[in-house]
Amino acid sequence: MSQSKPRDPDAVHRHLRDVQRLLSRQRLVEDLVHRQTMPRHDLVESIVHRQHIARLRRKLDRLHPADIAWILEALPLEDRLFVWDLVKAEKDGDILLEVSDAVRETLIDNMDPAELQAAAETLDADELADLAPDLPPEVMEVVLESLDTEEQQQVRAAMSYPEGTVGSLMDFDMVTVREDVTLEVVLRYLRRFDALPDHTDKIFVIDREDRLRGILTLESLLISDPETEVAQVMQSKSLISFAPEDDAGGAANAFERYDLVSVPVIDAERRVIGRLTVADMVDYIREESEAEILSQAGLRKEEDIFAPVMRSVKNRWAWLAINLVTAFIASRVIGLFEDSIEKLVALATLMPIIAGIGGNAGNQTITMIVRAIAMGQVQPSALRRLLKKELGVATINGLFWGGLVGLMAWWLYQNPALGVVMTAAMTLTLLVAATAGVLIPLIRQRLGRDPALGSSVMITAITDSGGFFIFLGLATLFLI
C-alpha cells in the first residue's frame, strides 16, 4: 500500500510552482520557434511541445478541483486560459463553482455554449443554481430542459431565495427514514447506497407527509443495538432546523455555537425540503469576512489580481468619489478660516494632527460598536451606558494625547496659548468622535440598516470636518 501524501497543507503551493515551471518551459519552446533562433525542425518542436503538454495534463488530472481553481486564480490571464483548456471537462463544473467571481467571468467568457452546457450538467441542483447567474441564459435553458422535473423544481426553488438566506445555500441531498423501523433496517437500507451525501452526520426521520419527526445521528445508529426502533433513539426535542427564509448569518452563528455538521431545512408545514452543511457555512463565513475587509478598504468586490486596468478602476471608483466629496467638504470648512490661517500659519501645520487622531479614535469606537451589534449583543437600551463609557475613554485620551500635542505646539511655536487651544480642540474632537461612533451604528440599527456599511467613511468625514472646525474655530476665537 503506497503512502503517497500531500501531507503539508501547503501542497497546493508546490502544485502551483510545478504548473508554472511547466508553463514557462512550454513558453520557452514556443518562443524559440517563434523567433526562429532555432532552426524550425517541426518534428523536434512538436515532440517537446507535446511532452510538456502531456505532463501538465497529467499533473492537472491528479489535482482536486479546488486546487485547480486556486491555481487558475494565481495565473495571469493567458496562462490561466491555457491551463483551463487542458483541464478534464468533467472537472469544469466543480472548478467554476470554486473560483472567485472575477476569475469565473474570465473562464466563462472563453468557453463555447456546448462546453458550458457539459460543465453545468455535471452539477447538482443547488450548485447549478449558484452558477446560474453567470451562465448565458440560452445555455441555462438547455441545461434546465435536460433535467427531470424534480431537479428542475429544485433548481428553480434554490434560485428563488435571495442571496444571504438559508434557501440560497441549502442542498437537496439527504437520507431520510421512517421512525417505525429498526436500526437494522436502516443499516440494510444504507448498504444499498453507492455513496452517502457529503457531510451526512445524521439521517432525517420523517413521516408519511415528509414532515420532520426527528433526527437519527450516525453516532446513535452505530452505538445502539440494531434491534432498537428508530423512534427510540432519534432526537425529537429541541431539534435545530432552519426555514429557507432564515438569514444565513444567523445560521452560521448556530453552526459555530453548537458545532453542527448538517441541519435540516424545513418549510412552514415542517416538511423537510433541504439541508445545510458546515461546508456551506465555512465558505459563507469566509466570504462574509472577506467582503467586510474589502469594503472597509473601499473595494466593491474581490478583484482578479491580474484583471485589466479598467476593470480595477471600476471596482474602486465609487469609494474614491465618496471620499472626494467628504474631502471637499472638509476643505471648505478650512476655507472658512483662511483669514485666521493667514495670520497664524502654524494653524495649517497643526490641523492635520487633530483630524488624524480624531479619525483614528472614532474608527476604534465605531468598529467596536458595530461588532457588538453584529453579534447581537447590543440593545438600544445599552445606549446610555455605552455612550458614558466611550465619552470617558475620549476624555482621558483627549487630555493625555491632547496635552502631549499641546506641549509640542507650545515648544515648536513658543506660544503657550496655541498649546492650550490644541489640547482643548483635541479633547472636543475626540468627544465628537466618540459620540458619533456610538450613535451612527445604533441609529442605523434602529432604522433597520446594516450598521457596518460605510461606517468608516461616515466617521472619518465627521472627524475631519469636525476636527478642522473645532480647532480653527477655537483658534479664531482665542488667538486671532
Q: Which of residues 229-258 bind a second copy (CB under 8 A)?
A: 231, 236-243, 246-247, 250-251, 253-258
The distance of closest approach from Cβ of residue 389 to a second copy in the complex, given in angstroms and rounded to an integer, is 6
Interior CA angle at 433 toward 427 and 328, to 5°?
110
Stretch that binds a second copy, among 89-97, 151-159, 369-377, 415-423 (CB under 8 A): 369-377
Note whether 70 binds a second copy by CB under 8 A: yes
The distance of closest approach from Cβ of residue 117 to a second copy in the complex, given in angstroms and rounded to an integer, is 26
The distance of closest approach from Cβ of residue 7 to a second copy in the complex, given in angstroms and rounded to an integer, is 6
Stretch that binds a second copy, among 106-114, 123-131, 133-141, 396-404 (CB under 8 A): 396-404
Note whether 327 binds a second copy by CB under 8 A: yes
**Position 422, amino acid:** M
Asked whether the beta carbons of 273 and 244 are under 8 A apart, the reply is yes
Task: List the one residue out of 82, 90, 79, 157 whose CA is nearest residue 119.
Answer: 90
Asked whether the beta carbons of 170 and 126 are under 8 A apart, the reply is yes
The distance of closest approach from Cβ of residue 298 to a second copy in the complex, given in angstroms and rounded to an integer, is 5
Note whether 350 binds a second copy by CB under 8 A: yes
Among 48, 382, 383, 407, binds a second copy (CB under 8 A): 382
Asked whether the beta carbons of 356 and 446 are under 8 A apart, the reply is no
Per-residue interface string for the shown chain with a second copy, residues 45-64, x marking contact by CB under 8 A: -------------------x
Note whether 190 binds a second copy by CB under 8 A: yes
Stretch that binds a second copy, among 30-38, 141-149, 157-165, 298-306 (CB under 8 A): 298-306
List all residues 6 or more positions away from 140 whose beta carbon is below 8 Å from its beta carbon. 120, 132
Report H helices in 87-217. 89-98, 101-109, 113-120, 125-131, 137-146, 149-160, 166-169, 183-190
Among 404, 417, 443, 477, binds a second copy (CB under 8 A): 404
Asked whether the beta carbons of 245 and 231 are under 8 A apart, the reply is no
Dmax (CA) for the chain in angstroms is 95
Per-residue interface string for the shown chain with a second copy, residues 98-117, x marking contact by CB under 8 A: x-------------------
The distance of closest approach from Cβ of residue 70 to a second copy in the complex, given in angstroms and rounded to an integer, is 7
Asked whether the beta carbons of 80 and 72 are under 8 A apart, the reply is yes
DSSP string, 206-272: E-TTSBEEEEEEHHHHHHS-TTSBHHHHSB-SS---B-TTSBHHHHHHHHHHHT-SEEEEE-TT-BE
Per-residue interface string for the shown chain with a second copy, residues 409-448, x marking contact by CB under 8 A: ---x------------------------------------
Per-residue interface string for the shown chain with a second copy, residues 444-473, x marking contact by CB under 8 A: --------------------x---x-----
In the bound state with a second copy, the residue whose beta carbon lies nearer, of 140 and 202, is 202
Quote the CA–CA distance of 118 and 95 in Å, as a whole number. Answer: 13
Place of cell 482643548: 424
Quote the CA–CA distance of 291 and 279 in Å, as a whole number. Answer: 18
Q: Which of residues 153-172 bind a second copy (CB under 8 A)?
A: none
Note whether 290 binds a second copy by CB under 8 A: yes
Among 48, 178, 267, 401, binds a second copy (CB under 8 A): 401
Note whether 271 binds a second copy by CB under 8 A: no
Stretch that binds a second copy, among 25-33, 114-122, 150-158, 372-380 (CB under 8 A): 372-380
How many beta carbons lie within 10 A of that of residue 375, not counting itself? 9
Among 193, 232, 380, 477, binds a second copy (CB under 8 A): 193
Conformation bin of residue 36: beta by default, left when phi > 0, alpha when psi is -120 to 50? left
